[in-house]
Amino acid sequence: MIPLLINKLDPLFLRQGSRIFIAAAFQIIVFYSEMAFSRLSKASKIVVLTTGGALLAGIGTFYYRMGDELRKNLLNIETVPKDIQKRCDEAYETLQNAKDCHSLLKKHLTKSVLDSLKTQKTKMGGTLIDVINSGVKNLDSGIGVYATDPEAYHVFKKLFDPVIADYHKFNPKDKQPKENFGENELNKFENLDPKGKYILSTRIRCGRTLKGYPFNPLLREDDYLLIEQKMKEALNSFTDPELQGKYYSLSGMSESDKKQLIKDHFLFKEGDRFLQAAKACQYWPVGRGIFHNNAKTFLVWVNEEDHVRIISMQQGGDVKAVFSRLIRGVKDIEKKVSFAKDDRLGNVTFCPTNLGTTIRASVHIKLPKLSTKSDFKEVCEKLNLQVRGIHGEHSESEGGIYDISNKRRMGLTEFEAVKEMYDGVKKLIYMEEKA
C-alpha cells in the first residue's frame, strides 16, 4: 500500500531522492500507530476513528475548495527546471520586443499567462517553451504554438483556449459536435466544375494522432517506429479494392521508388523552419512513410506533421467521389488503430489549427479575373475560405492557380466542413463567370 502511494505522489511533487526517506517514515509512523492503537480501550478506539475520519474529511474539503489554480501550483512545485522557466521569460521578452510580430502567440501570451504557465508540465513532460518555441524562433508565424501531447490543451489552456477562439471562433465553453461524415447526404455534392474550366483537382484530408502517444516534441525514436509499424499493419489490412495499395518507408527507400513518388508529387519533405523549430523533424526520416492505393487517389502520410494524415484526391471537381473515398479509408483504419480524441475539442492534433474535424477540403483552381482583384482574399475570408499557393502553407500562387480550402475545422461536423468549402468555391466560380 505504502509503495503504491509513493508512486502516485512521485510524478506530482516528489524528487527521486526523497522517496526512500518518505517511504521509511511512513512505515515507522504506521508501525507505531498500530502499536498505540492496539493498546487503546474500545471507547477510545471509537473516538480516535471518529476524529481521524473528521480530520480526513476536513483536509479533503479544504483541498477541494482551494481552487484549481492553487491545486495546480501546489502539485507542480519545482517540476519545471529554473533554466526552462528562464527560457520562457526570455521568449516572452523576444516577442514583446518584436514590433513586426503579429502572431496569435504574441497576442495571447500575456505576462500573467506566462507566469501561471511557465511552471506547468504535462504528465508526458511537455513544457511551455516546447509549446511556444516555433513562434519565438519564427516571428513571422501566424499562429506560433504547437501542442506537445493531448494533455497540453488542458495544462496550457490559458494560452491555447484564446488562440483556438481567435482562429476557429470556437469559444472555451463551446463543444465540438459529435463526429458526422454525412454519408447519407453525399448526393448534395454535384460536380463543381463538370466542364473542367476552373478546377484542376480536388483534395480532402484529415489528421489523426494515435492514442497513448505524445506529439513530435516528445516522441522518441522508438515511438516513431512503433507508430509506423501500427500504421503499416492497419494499411496492409485493407479489404476494399479501391483502397488497397503499397506502403513505402522513407528510411532505406530505393532510388526508383523515390523518383516515382517525386514524380507523383506524393513524397513529403522534411518540415519547413516552422516545423523544425517545433521539433517536428527529430530522427528524420526514421518512422516516416507513405502509403498510396493502386489508383493513386488515396494517400496516407505517416509521421509527417501529425502521426497520420489521410488524403483522398483526384483530378476535377467531383467532391462526392473524393469525400466518399476518404470516409471509407478513415473508418477502415479506425478498426485497427485507436485515435486520440477530446470531449470538448474533438480530434486532437499537433497544431491547434487542425483540431476538431481536422478536415481540410481544397481545390486547385484557376480564377483569372477574380484573383486579380484587390479584394480577392477578403472575398474568400467572408466565405470562410483560406487561400494558399499550390505548394501548401506559406507558398504563393503559381501560374494563376490557387489552393482554396475551408478555414474552419471546429464547431461544425465533418460533412459541414466539406460543405463550407463546396458552397464557397461554387460562389467563387459564379463570381468569376459574372466578372
Q: Determine which one of 88, 206, 351, 380 is catalytic.
A: 351
Q: Determine which one of 309, 328, 408, 409 is catalytic.
A: 309
Cell of 93: 521578452
In angstroms, rounded to a whole number, what is the distance separating the alpha carbons of residues 145 and 277? 11
114-130 burial, b at 16+ Cβ within 10 Å, e below that, comes to bebbbbbbbebebbbbb
Q: Determine which one of 228, 304, 305, 420 is catalytic.
A: 305
Q: Catalytic residue at 205?
A: yes
Q: Determine which one of 203, 205, 208, 288 is catalytic.
A: 205
Q: Determine which one of 242, 388, 416, 432 is catalytic.
A: 388
CB 373 within 8 A of CB 388: no
Within 8 A by CB and 6+ apart from 179, the residues are 346, 357, 413, 414
Q: Catalytic residue at 93?
A: no
Distance of CA 376 to the CA centre of its chain: 30
Side-chain half-sphere exposure of 221, counting CA atoms within 13 A: 5
Q: Determine which one of 119, 297, 353, 413 is catalytic.
A: 353
End-to-end CA, the chain: 77
Q: Catalytic residue at 360?
A: yes
Neighbours of 295 (CB within 10 A): 13
Return the H-helix or E-strand segment holding 346.
strand 346-347
Q: Catalytic residue at 79?
A: no
The DSSP bridge pattern shows strands 245-249 and 289-293 to be antiparallel
Q: Determine which one of 183, 233, 381, 393 is catalytic.
A: 393
Q: Catalytic residue at 305?
A: yes
Q: Determine which one of 87, 203, 360, 408 is catalytic.
A: 360
Which residue, among 107, 291, 91, 322, has the nearest Cα to 204 in the 3D structure? 322
For the annotated catalytic residues, the residue numbers are: 205, 305, 309, 351, 353, 360, 388, 393
